[in-house]
Amino acid sequence: MSDVRDHGGGLDIAIKEYGSVRNNWIDLSTGINPNHYSIPKIPNYFWNTLPDSEAQNSMLKTARLFWNVPKNANIIASSGVSQLIAIMPNLLPAGKVEIISPTYNEHAAAFKSNGWKVGSNGNVRILVNPNNPNGKHHPITEEDSNNYDLIIIDESFCDVTPEKSLIHLTKQKNVIVLKGLGKFWGLAGLRLGFAIAAPELIESINKLIGPWAISGPAQFIGKAALSDINWISDTRLKLKVNSERLDQIMISHNIKPIGGTNLFRLFEVKDSNRIQIKLAKSFIWTRIFPYSTNWLRLGIPKNDIEFERLSKALEE
């Protein structure tokens, strides 16, 4: 796995390279839902007071119910899943971590920077479920967890396939599941993530996070987003339809889908760098990977106009 900490996004760099202005670009480089959850009106007191425990507990209770957190597991909120990833290596003395790859590279980077060795086996195991970028799920059992001191399961993209969640494993004392509102709800800028685990692990995580990690407005928005069942149901259906539409457009241009989720799709191409440049000249930003010249990942276009622009750009 490459040591390069590459990511989707970086649209500002693309604009400098290829021109135009942000509003003219279609950013398909991330797996963020382009039709984000609509922010409700936030009461003024959330802006000029410190976040209080009642609002925090109310949000966490809503999250617990939504994700069906086991009774003997606890849940904590953080400033995004990235904050949680960064502190995971500090839960145990440095050892060796097993990461199924290729996958999201911040997990390996976090452990390496804290003195851990990354390899095909170790006393800590990390899974991204579903995996980014190929969308594979990793079914594991309670018996599997007995082979590790700690298992970390990143479910940032799992809200499109809730039936595949491994949340039930958090009743084990050594399993942590990470969730967030950045991808499915499209609220990446909100920076709201969650860790679900046994009470002892949550207590250790809480000490590393510190007080007031979540703003008052984030508490309010988080509770609203997690409890809006109609929006959630409708969005799952729309993302499924649109991801299938994206596959069909790419197939019509002789580009083969090989994986992904309903938030992003992975395609096999002859030269991913060439395709990225081609689309960038039409102001469409995509995702390529340093470890593969044949993989191209696209987020889901927002509407008919974006689908049509993508199809036209592929023809040019």
* Residues 49-71 pLDDT 10s: 999 999 999 999 999 999 999 99
Same domain as 214, residue 90: yes
pLDDT computed for residue 172 by the predictor: 96
Same domain as 212, residue 97: yes
Same domain as 199, residue 112: yes
Give tens-digit pLDDT for 99-142. 988 999 999 999 999 999 999 899 999 999 999 999 999 888 88
Domain count, the chain: 2
Out of 196, 227, 258, a domain closes at: 227
Average pLDDT value for residue range 242-247: 98
Pairwise CA distance, residues 268 & 280, whole Å: 18
- Grade residue 7 by pLDDT with cuts at 50, 70 and 90: low
pLDDT computed for residue 10 by the predictor: 85
In percent, the amount of the chain with pLDDT more than 70 equals 97
- Grade residue 4 by pLDDT with cuts at 50, 70 and 90: very low
In percent, the amount of the chain with pLDDT more than 90 equals 91
Same domain as 192, residue 105: yes
Give the domain extent around 18.
Answer: 11-36+230-315
Q: Rounded to two decimals, what is the model's pTM?
A: 0.95
Pairwise CA distance, residues 41 & 43, whole Å: 7
The residues, any chain, with a CB within 8 Å of residue 50's CB and separated by 6 or more, are: 212, 216
Same domain as 246, residue 162: no
Give tens-digit pLDDT for 204-241. 999 999 888 999 999 999 999 999 999 999 999 999 99
Same domain as 171, residue 64: yes
Give tens-digit pLDDT for 179-213. 999 999 999 999 999 999 999 999 999 999 988 89
Same domain as 246, residue 222: no
Pairwise CA distance, residues 287 & 304, whole Å: 21
Encoded tokens for 27: 């950013």
- Grade residue 6 by pLDDT with cuts at 50, 70 and 90: low
DSSP H helices, the chain, are: 11-18, 45-48, 53-67, 81-87, 106-113, 142-145, 199-209, 216-227, 229-252, 272-280, 304-315
pLDDT computed for residue 191 by the predictor: 97
Out of 169, 195, 227, a domain closes at: 227
Pairwise CA distance, residues 92 & 95, whole Å: 8
pLDDT computed for residue 1 by the predictor: 35
Q: Which residues of 217-255 are buried (b: 16+ CB within 10 A; e: fewer)?
A: bbbbbbbbbbbbeeebeebbeebeebbeebbebbeeeeb
Number of Cβ within 10 Å of residue 208's Cβ equals 15
Same domain as 220, residue 128: yes
Same domain as 262, residue 174: no
pLDDT computed for residue 3 by the predictor: 42
Cβ–Cβ < 8 Å for 242, 301: yes
Give tens-digit pLDDT for 264-288. 999 999 999 999 999 999 999 999 9
Asked whether residue 26 is assigned to any structural domain, the reply reads yes
Cβ–Cβ < 8 Å for 298, 251: no
Range of weakest confidence among 17-21, 117-121, 150-154, 239-243: 117-121
Give tens-digit pLDDT for 72-85. 999 999 999 999 99
Out of 227, 253, 270, a domain closes at: 227
